[in-house]
Structure 1
């Protein structure tokens, strides 16, 4: 409704609704705002635009006119501020920020504000929302946060200027179907800009700015003295650059000699030489360093789980600078993180951070240099001599080789299927190391959304030592049946995933032999996730197994957690149901209590039990300790 048609009563109702439902409105605004703003700016902007959603003033009453009556609909005021909130938040898409919102209020100096971090489900939803337009996020918020039906939500979107509200609602439905419990996740702390954590900004850079301002003032005051100084005196010496200033000097970037990778015992990203045609372009390198140190408004920042986005504290190492699919790319390494700066033509830059400390020959074998709609390109390590692609769901199919550019960039490689898409294939890349530093071993990596690909390994039995490469026939057949479970790990900062075939079990009624696999994912920051999968005899090489148990933040199935136990309900061809359980080699016995009571003095157990029978399964280790089965 135009401003001059609003009555004072309507404005008062809107003000009351805004105050009463302020957290609800700010959460909606925070959801709609572009993820590229960063969480700190999104928090402040969400508060600012909700406070500006209230009409500035009510029109004056004509002389002699009676005061307008308060409407009977108490929700009309809330509808007004919600409509205005959605309009203002949508205006930030494609950098169409309304000038009326500048400067942003509230203004916070010296602190970074961000909502409480959520878990893997919240992270997955946040990544899904980052990939869709603001109109889709608005449609999802009006549906799941506001509880509007399709017609009411469509009306709000139409009034807000959305060109195709039906398409936005369909896309919102797709996001909702790909994410379990969307409404609960959107109401969690991850998306609550009213309950925030505070951290200081970069203290050194802030101190340097204050010092620089003081120095500038001193120079201006002393300018006349400098002009009057006699010529021929000793040359003036400027202040010594600080470490933070040196880190922004492209001339100080570390550059590894091209053949050092074959002459060092530290085979990781520190052994990568600089590559790319723009490796000598100081203007490009300076821009990348400046954006890293102080991202300008609109910069899209993507960070792997638990990866810092702090500015460089010392000159980083240059790994690559060049043009990748019409995008200028610079990759830097500061000893702990990979930082990829992408500069699309005519668009705002992107910074992508990934933690890679303690990388080795395999985990530093490549990085994602470019990514597009359904494809990616790797920049391979200088010690990788051959690259091929294979489908994990087709273990018998041979890999096909990839062409490498002279600077180490691969051809396009298909991406693994996204969530909600049938898992009919899973591309993995097979690297082979150079004989100059290794025995030309092959190893498999796959993409899970971060800069560093994930190393896939296989452990056939407890007595086989540590995990080996997943390139042999048994390993490929094991991964064919478990690869699709990798989708749950996307964007969680995973370094390596191992399949451990910890037990085999003869099934009742001549049902064949089943394999019990513990799928262990290790993150760069340390904690891991374990999933026990039951693999009965399959009709096809890629038939998926059944998840028997899972645990997060655990050492299970790692060198520091070698004992594991799982159980599952299984139906024989006769139609009869059984409870099956299997433990690793040091499990000396299994006890079942609850709806079924049974025991076995062995590492496997099979007893008749209904599919819904509640049970508690515990194992007895050889040293007398007990071990509970992982729960689904």
Structure 2
């Protein structure tokens, strides 16, 4: 009969006094904070994990002069560069136990443990702090660790950073309160180390270093709103108390919504949770055009009438405590009738409701506890959505990470870095309701070191800071296709960073069209000309860019934007033409004026500071540094073209 393996019993070591523990904490502070950061629950978000990890380490000293009475850990061995002094071993156990406790569920009346509430100290007002972004391998490992339980994550981190012997890992986990260390190690065994991590352990990279941070401001508009709300908080509290004390139903059940000012039969119908419409689970299979209207209602709180009532009331009449955002061109008025319910459930620390009225998707979010307080209401225009542009909706954002609710027809999800076109996509887990695990969102500002995109079946989408991600395509105007193949991914690698210019603009899709390939003078290879067109849900406000990509550029290097236009039909189905030019310097030091047009361009002419002409869609003439050329072209149909402006 096979004997069941059990965790080795922890062994006590000599008592540790405060001075000994403090010396170890100061000397090995970065190592301890990294350990706490990696073991803390990923749902806290990167900013809060950073501050909580520092707080846990700073609270790890013994309360009394001698702390050895509570210390039961393996005798230190000092292998693999791990500190061997008892003081470090003691502090490490305290940090590990506190980080694990932060992820354990607590009873209804049990007070929060350290790490389950935002730390009082350290505290940074007005800034978000998080580690610097790594590459695709670090992103993949972060996703893998996010899918583990707290003990499994601790086992993986201890094995990768601290202890090479699994017997020691079992003892440390057991001393930290893990009931089944063997199961934790088995869970850690299932983590696949991404390719490219053989030289230096990925756990030691800057992606997981909470002592090497970058700072960004918090939501400035939200801070202004909070300041204004604070000035009226006292008066609002008095008014609320007075209204709630009046006889009758009152309006407390509507949460953060403003009080009703008039009774209207249509408006009252739109506020009734019982009248919300819901699509059947198979409606999308038989629909002529699958879209948001064919999504079934999902989530574990679709039957919570009070939550739905608060969401509908906040939509109809948002109060001062409701933060309202909307994509450009999206009306924020109440629904004209009962809307459709898409989702109601808990996401991270919030209760979220997604609604759809045929023209807009609306997201309502409040604290998970349901207590009265601030709420958020986000609007996004989604009229004429089809199966290609209604693949996902953002259900939650936490410190640079985002979760999506995916369409019922999406068969698989994966994350890939657009700046690493040769790297394979990493699978992204979804729960039974179709909600994905948290995945990094492209940084809203700063250096463009990575650009995460989401593969939903065959479609590629990316988050541009709105409720609905933008679809990415390639191909000629009027016939865009999904991004697939090495050439298409390589083209988007040079264009991804330019997506920053269309964030929060209500973008529906962005198409990258390589309209010309031009041999460079002097045998310097061939350059690529691309036109990227961002189209919005509202029809107006499109943004067009022409890019020039020289040969030999490293993957992920942004192409040079040589022309741009707004509210232009160029590069689109209505006007599938483009003309662009650039001054280019050869390796020999000679300057040339280069120009290229779409396939149907019959001739190109340069005037002004550069003079020349050429038949066909390509032009290359000698020029002086800093010369300015006026370009024009004629198509085969006799239409005159000028450069984007």
Give me the TM-score of the superposition, normalised by structure 1.
Answer: 0.61
- Report if aligned partners of 1:375, 1:413 keep a CA contact under 8 Å in 2: yes
In structure 2, which of residues 457, 469, 474 is the aligned counterpart of residue 453 of structure 1?
469
Matches within 5 A, 1:433-582: 442-459=458-475, 466-527=479-540, 528-582=542-596
Cα distance in 1 for partners of 2:439, 2:218 equals 21
Paired residue secondary structure (2:516): strand
What's 1:233 paired with? none
- Partner residue, 2:283: 260
Q: Does the 8 Å contact 1:548/1:568 carry over to 2? A: yes
- Equivalents in 1 of 2:571, 2:538: separation in Å? 17
* Alignment match, 2:421: 395
Give the aligned partner of residue 585 of structure 1: 599
5+ unaligned residues in a row in structure 2: which ranges? Answer: 1-125, 127-216, 232-257
1:538 CA displacement: 2.5
Give how far 1:242 is off: 1.8
* Partner residue, 1:143: none
Q: Give the Cα separation in 1 of the matches to 2:356 and 2:347.
A: 19
Shift of 1:611: 2.8
The residue that corresponds to 2:347 in the other structure is: 324
Structure 2 match to 1:355: 381
The number of equivalent residue pairs is 399
Distance in structure 2 (CA, Å) of the matches to 1:131 and 1:610: 51
Aligned to 1:342: 365
From 609, 613, 617, the equivalent of 2:631 is 617
TM-aligned CA deviation for residue 539 of structure 1: 3.4
Is the 1:578–1:606 Cα contact (8 Å) retained in structure 2?
A: yes
Q: Deviations over 1:498-555 (max 9, x none)?
A: 0000011000011100110000000000121110000110331212211110110011
> Is the partner of 2:411 in helix, strand or coil?
strand
Q: Is the 8 A contact 2:222 2:323 kept in 1?
A: no
Q: Does 1:305 align with 2:337?
A: no
CA distance in 1, matches of 2:288, 2:439: 31
Equivalents in 1 of 2:610, 2:278: separation in Å? Answer: 65
Q: Which segments of structure 1 move beyond 4 Å, counting only runs of 4 or more?
A: 131-137
Who is 1:426 aligned against?
451
- Secondary structure, aligned partner of 2:567: strand
Structure 1 residues 533 and 449: CA distance shift in structure 2, 3 A: same
Q: CA deviation at 1:128?
A: 6.5
Q: Offset at 1:609?
A: 1.0
User: TM-score, normalised to structure 2's length?
Assistant: 0.59
User: Does residue 383 of structure 1 match 2:409?
Assistant: yes
Deviation of 1:624 after TM superposition, in Å, equals: 2.1
> What's the CA shift string for 1:424-469, capped at 9, x where partnerless?
110000011xxxxxxxxx010000011000000001x57xx60100
- Seen in structure 2, the aligned counterparts of structure 1 residues 582 and 450 have a Cα distance that, compared at 3 Å, is same
Distance 1:274 1:534, change over 3 A: same
Q: Partners of 2:569 and 2:218 in 1: how far apart?
A: 27
Give 1:577 shift.
1.0
State the distance in 2 between where 1:343 and 1:315 align: 21
The equivalent residue for 2:239 is none
Counterpart CA distance in 2 for 1:531 and 1:131 is 32
How far has the Cα of 1:473 moved from its partner? 1.6
Distance 2:497 2:628 in 1: 29
Q: Is the 8 A contact 1:304 1:493 kept in 2?
A: yes
Q: Matched residues in 1 for 2:630 and 2:331: separation?
A: 42
Equivalent position to 2:294, from 271, 275, 282: 271
Q: Secondary structure at the match of 2:312?
A: helix
- Asked if the contact 1:548/1:630 (under 8 Å) is kept, the reply is no
Offset at 1:134?
A: 8.1
Query: Per the alignment, do residues 499 and 295 of structure 1 end up closer, same or farther by CA in structure 2, a change over 3 Å counting?
Result: same
**Cα offset, 1:129, TM superposition:** 3.4
Which residue is equivalent to 1:280? Answer: 303
SS in 2 for 1:491: coil
Residue 132 of structure 1 deviates from its aligned partner by 5.5
Find the aligned partners of 1:270 and 1:539 in 2 and give their Cα distance: 44
Q: Tell me what 1:129 maps to.
A: 220
What RMSD, in angstroms, separates the aligned Cα atoms of the two structures?
A: 2.5
**Following the alignment from structure 1 to structure 2, what is the Cα–Cα distance between the partners of residues 539 and 447?**
26
Equivalent residue number for residue 314 of structure 1? 337
CA offsets per residue over residues 466-485 of structure 1, 9 Å max, x none? 01001222110100000000
Rate the CA distance shift 1:571–1:136 in 2: closer, same or farther, 3 A. farther
**1:370 Cα deviation after fit:** 0.4
Question: For 1:243 and 1:471, how far apart are their aligned partners in 2?
Answer: 48
